[in-house]
Structure 1
Amino acid sequence: MDELINRITANVGIDADTAQKAVGAILAFLAKEGPADKVKEMLAAVPDSDALLAQAPADGMLSMGGVMGLGQKLMGMGLGMGEISGVAKETVGYARENGGGDAVDEIVASIPGLSQFV
């Protein structure tokens, strides 16, 4: 987990606490929206993914779903569009590099609108 968070803080320019919460939110979104078998494979490629998922903020009563809902949640953490895109690209890239490439590609392809952010 530290490697991914350090990479995000260096390349995106956000603090480690926000990076952990943002990655948790992205992984929770993928777990909710993506095909379960592929998500399980991808999560296995992200060390300490359970700890990151636990840091994801809970959905609020007025939360919308899909990619827009994820964007709303990440903006609520104080992230701008460039930072959201950066965190998403780093997270997905990290999962790909650590052996989850095919699973990640299938997850991204299965969620409408996600490919434009990763």
Structure 2
Amino acid sequence: MDELLTRITAETGLDTATAKRAVGSILAFLSAESDDPAVGTMIKETPGAEDAMAATGGDAYSGGGIMALGAGLMGMGLDMGQIQTVAQDLVAYSKIHAGADTVDRVIASVPGLAQFV
């Protein structure tokens, strides 16, 4: 996860704690919005994913679809460009560790997500 967070902070200017909370919130969103077992596989096989979800400090996604996730991330101080960078970097990192097929299944299992990543 340190590798991912280093990349995100370098590309977005976010501090490490905010980047980790953002990643955790996106993972919590995926977990809540999809019933595909691929989500659990992705979280389990992506190093640091469970820790990132725990780092949200109760601010993790709690429902409302992709727009609610976006609002929550903006509430953390991210702009749209930063949100897209975090999401794309998380997807790329997860594909390395959990496999492209698994991550692609996750993305396909969440309505409307594919257009954002």
Give yes or no for TM over 0.5.
Answer: yes
1:4 aligned residue: 4
2:90 aligned residue: 91
Cα 1:90–1:32 shift into 2, 3 Å: same
Long gaps (5+) in structure 2: none
**CA–CA separation in structure 1 for the residues paired with 2:106 and 2:3:** 23
TM-score (norm 1): 0.89
Query: Secondary structure, in 3 states, of the residue corresponding to 2:47?
Result: coil
Structure-to-structure mapping, 1:24-35, within 5 angstroms: 24-35=24-35
1:15 aligned residue: 15
* Aligned-partner residue type, residue 50 of structure 2: D
Long gaps (5+) in structure 1: none
**CA–CA separation in structure 1 for the residues paired with 2:51 and 2:19:** 13
* Higher mean C-alpha deviation, range 84-93 or range 39-48: 39-48
Q: Percent identity?
A: 49
* Higher mean C-alpha deviation, range 33-42 or range 72-81: 33-42
**CA–CA separation in structure 2 for the residues paired with 1:40 and 1:28:** 11
1:102 aligned residue: 101
1:38 aligned residue: 38
Q: Deviations over 1:26-69 (max 9, x none)?
A: 01111111234101111122112121110125359xx7611001
1:73 aligned residue: 72
Contact persistence 1:26–1:88 (CA under 8 A): yes
